[in-house]
Amino acid sequence: MEIRIRRAEPSDLPAVKEMYAALVARMDQEGWGVWDETYPRDFVEKDIERGQFYLLLEGDRLAGAFALPAHDNGEGDVPWQEPSAPARYLYRFGIAVEYGGRGLGRLALERIGELARGLGAGYLRLYVAHENEPAIALYRKAGFSQPPGEFGEVLEDGTRLFEYAFEKRL
């Protein structure tokens, strides 16, 4: 499968939100819903405005999407291998439902790593909810290492989201 990455534009927002809605429905159906009716959909517009949101495309078809900022609010809380090394943080990484199970996740991570390296990063880093076992398995298979510990984020409604950190040297 041949995929390409391009920076998202405001006109891409409806298709991306639709893709995420389908992913949330699948997660809920399979009993491991870690995203909901607001996340990640309500964050994409700002990511696009900041120039840090990208599409994974097969031809002209949306196959996935992700954000790739240069910093994370909690980056100093994690015992990264090289904390001061330049990094990119993978957020809101999702593969369209119709592409699931076809190996696109691992291929996409390779391409995202190439993009991050081209943007000057020495590491690709991310956080994943501890309930998201499919994503954790994917990151491990793709060669990501997991620093010790569990990290958290307090959401607007006061609940705490527990996440694991992962990183890969590029």
167, pLDDT greater than 90: yes
What range defines the domain where residue 70 resides? 4-169
pTM of the model: 0.92
Give the CATH number of the domain where residue 86 resides.
Answer: 3.40.630.30
pLDDT digits (tens, 9 = 90+) for 78-119: 999 999 999 999 999 999 999 988 889 999 999 999 999 999
Query: For the chain, how many structural domains are there in total?
Result: 1
**Percentage of the chain surpassing pLDDT 70?**
95
Q: What is the pLDDT of residue 122?
A: 98
E-only strand ranges, 31-150: 53-58, 61-67, 87-95, 123-129
* The pLDDT of residue 159 is above 70: no
How far apart CA 122 and CA 120 sit, in angstroms, is: 7
